[in-house]
Chains A and B, each alone.
Chain A
């Protein structure tokens, strides 16, 4: 009998020990405070935020998501957008830190593929935001549906021109995926309704866009519409149009929303601009990265959408935040 009670005592002690250990571990797992938070590295095309309000807005979305979901986010990127090797180096460095996930805005559609593959080969979930890559290495792509954005530009233009009018498309980087998609969206809507001139490429340079637009306006008296497919191109074109004094007869549609572009919208030089939702890209990038870390199955592509902004709706409450972001970083 004595043996039995000793056995019972031992069993109880053992059970208590096991239960306590389980509880302790459980409590640690349950509480994000005590455990080390998830680490997500977010790599932009550029981190020169004062010059790139778009990316500042993406950063705010990233920071908000980090706060909302208790994730340690680290935002990095090269100083200038064109520094593709610089971004590749930053991705490699991030891989070495073994984060729980990487969110990447690819600097180049093709050149960024090998680094993306490297990220995957280290078993790190990869989310691409804004700018994607030619391979399907990204687990999830989050960004504006560029084709749809192009369609919106064209639809806006059709409100100002008549069928058969002469219209020019001013694109930015020839071969850039978003440029191709935006242009085909525009052509999809305009095709057969207006006469389209050969597409011009500004290489994303506002000055070159200005020169191209000035020449185009000067040489083409019956030009009635211009679609400029990114922000610097729209700025350049707007300046040329403003100086030509033909703002009333030529409808200019832009893309994105730098303050300068918005100012031209307010003045009516740029009739409409299609704006993206960078904050949501950043926010969803981190949120979806967390879903991947937690092995849930988010959709492969998330369209953050775009909005057609004109002088009449730019100060509506729901658009003010989109157009004039207030930095909300913690």
Chain B
């Protein structure tokens, strides 16, 4: 299994989370920003265009007012109805009436009165009528486009009614009410300077290159800032779609650019005022926002990764140091303090680990001490066997026997000594069978008996069931030695040493009792103390026995003494039952 560091996992998770969040946020805000931008553009453009439309309609209404005024003017009526009243005086009067209007309103280029019979009056700059224009024909052409009693508004066109002048104008035409013959005899044409409309449209700012154009009723172009380009096929507008559209906003693609048409229809003129906004320009405003958002996103991402690094290192650093500490422990170094710089569960974990390691360390130390002690004690118990006095005395006895010619006894004693040492050294094992231990004690007592003759007698009485069990070796002999040297040796009569062994439940109780001098209470206390602390006065053997029992079996086992002066001494060994080994 691949091990992944917590820190990496955390940073990865942080980054992924932030990236997903930012992507989501970015997409959403991009979407809504564009939606809002288009909505705003639609609203403001609709307002602008509606306003423009109202202004244009005002102009048209104003032109119509002039036309209406002319229609109801008595002089004009007289001029139209009666060719005989067509005098220079009347013409001058009518012309001056129109001229006074033109003088006030510069945007009115000309006012014409044209009659069915081909007469005309022109109130205009320049004055002379264009001789090439056939007025009768012109009257019929204009009349064809007019509904009686309603004004008709033309597209922008070049007016050629005046000689040597070709002004661009928008014309409003009204026919006079029909005469007795059932047809109108004359019409009024009011020409509005096209520059006015062009300037109004041009003044509408729509982004950098957006613009306004106007379509006539039939889709003809009333005004377009790039009219020549359209005629030259260098530019196009989706006129059929605009015409089929009843006003409002329309997104489409023209000449490879995404555009927004905002269309307002004029009821007065029948025109469609169309605003063209380029979407890429609309969204240019959002580009800045996108830029700021991207910058912020990167900062947030960097911050998140940074925070991820910090937070995860805060979490994983203590874990890492704990892991290292445990690795050190694994490789055997217990001499470390496990502490981590954190105030959380990891701190507690580290503290628990520290305690556990310290305990293990103590146990190991304890174990090692015990082992050492055991080895020392064993060595000492060996030393105890090789009690030099015992050896000298025995050897002295053997020499004496040989000198006295008691060869058989000498031989017995020597062989006993040999057996004694053989068991004592006994193959370096810690435990031996109870029977071997008994044999060992017997051998010892036999040797001593050679020395003390009838002054020493002994009895050994072990429950038969005990013989097969194991026992820590050389436990009994030191106590027997003690009984001989401190008990029996100092009495007058024959001494008796009794060694008994019994099983009490899971314990084995061995008693070594003598009928020696016994001990005064203070001696007894000294002896007991001597079991704990080394005293030169006591035989090393007894203390060794006690210590070994403690080391091997614990403090609840051991050797105890009971004695009174003249009443002998009883030493009791208490050890746990050890099943016989197969060896």
Check if A16 sits within 8 Å of B220, measured CB to CB: no
Which chain A positions have C-beta within 8 A of B229?
64, 279-280, 283
CB < 8 Å neighbour of A16 from B131, B301, B320: B301
**B17 sits at the interface (CB 8 A):** no
The reply to whether A322 and B209 contact each other, CB–CB distance below 8 Å, is no
In the bound complex, residues from chain A placing their C-beta under 8 Å from that of B78 are none
Option from A12, A263, A317 in Cβ contact (under 8 Å) with B221: A317
> Which chain B residues in 275-316 approach chain A with CB under 8 Å?
284, 287-288, 291, 294-295, 298-299, 301-302, 305-306, 309-310, 313, 316
Question: Is B390's beta carbon under 8 Å from chain A?
Answer: no
Which one of B160-168, B425-433, B545-553, B558-566 contacts A? Answer: B160-168
Interface hits, A236-284 → B, CB 8 Å:
259, 262-263, 266-268, 277, 279-280, 283-284
In the bound complex, do residue A315 and residue B305 qualify as a contact, i.e. CB atoms below 8 Å apart? no
Q: Establish whether residues A67 and B7, one from each chain, have CB atoms under 8 Å apart when the complex forms.
A: no
Q: Is there contact, CB below 8 Å, between A1 and B7?
A: yes
**Which residues on A sit within 8 Å (CB–CB) of B320?**
1
From A25-33, A107-115, A153-161, A163-171, give the one contacting chain B.
Answer: A25-33
Contact among B228, B295, B313 for A279, CB-based, below 8 A:
B228
B291:A61 contact, CB within 8 angstroms: no
Name the B residues within 8 Å of A266 (CB-CB): 130, 132, 160
User: How many cross-chain pairs have Cβ atoms below 8 Å apart between A and B?
Assistant: 105
Taken together as a complex, chains A and B put the C-alpha atoms of A67 and B288 apart, in Å, by 23
**With A1-B316, A12-B302 as given contacts, are A23 and B291 in contact (CB-CB < 8 Å)?**
yes
Q: A60 vs B132: C-alpha distance in the bound complex, in angstroms?
A: 30
Q: Mark B550-578, 1 if CB is under 8 A from A, else 0.
A: 00000000000000000000000000000
CB pair B231 A318 closer than 8 Å: yes
A-side contacts of B302, CB under 8 Å: 12-13, 15-16
B228 CB contact (under 8 Å) in A70, A280, A315: A280
A residues within 8 A CB of B534? none
* A277-B232, A317-B221 known; A8 vs B168 contact (CB < 8 Å): no
Q: Is the C-beta of A20 less than 8 angstroms from some C-beta in chain B?
A: yes
User: Cβ of B157 < 8 Å from any Cβ of A?
Assistant: yes
B131: chain A residues at CB < 8 Å are 267
Q: Is B225 an interface residue (CB 8 A)?
A: yes
On chain B, the residues within 8 Å of A279 by CB distance are 228-229, 232
* B residues in contact with A70, CB < 8 Å: 208-209
In the bound complex, do residue A259 and residue B299 qualify as a contact, i.e. CB atoms below 8 Å apart?
Answer: no
Given A5-B310, A16-B299, A284-B234, do A317 and B155 touch, yes or no (CB 8 Å)? Answer: yes
Residue of B nearest to A317 (CB): B220
Interface contact A33-B208, CB-CB below 8 Å: yes
Q: Shortest CB–CB separation between residue A245 and chain B, in angstroms?
A: 16
A326 interface residue (CB < 8 Å to B): yes
Closest to B164 in A: A263
Assess whether A320 is interfacial by the CB under 8 Å rule: yes
Q: Are A280 and B234 in contact (CB under 8 A)?
A: yes
Chain B residues with CB below 8 A from A321, complex form: 227-228, 231
Contact A27 to B291, CB < 8 A, known contacts A16-B301, A324-B158? yes
Q: Which residue of B lies closest to A311 (CB)?
A: B132
The answer to whether B130 touches A326, judged by C-beta atoms less than 8 angstroms apart, is no
| Residue from A30, A262, A326 whose CB has the most chain B CB atoms within 10 Å | A326
Q: Are A30 and B287 in contact (CB under 8 A)?
A: yes
Instruction: Point out the residue from A8, A61, A263, A284 that lies within 8 Å of B11, measured CB to CB.
Output: A8
Q: A320-B168, A321-B231 are in contact. List 19 more A-B contacts (CB 8 A).
A: A16-B298, A20-B298, A33-B208, A64-B226, A259-B166, A262-B166, A266-B160, A267-B131, A267-B132, A268-B132, A280-B234, A283-B229, A304-B232, A321-B227, A322-B228, A322-B231, A323-B166, A324-B158, A326-B168
Question: Closest 9 interchain pairs by CB?
Answer: A5-B309, A279-B228, A318-B231, A324-B158, A16-B298, A320-B158, A280-B232, A16-B302, A12-B302
Chain B residues near A (Cβ < 8 Å): 7, 11, 130-132, 155, 157-158, 160, 164, 166, 168, 194-195, 198, 208-209, 220-221, 225-229, 231-232, 234, 284, 287-288, 291, 294-295, 298-299, 301-302, 305-306, 309-310, 313, 316-317, 320
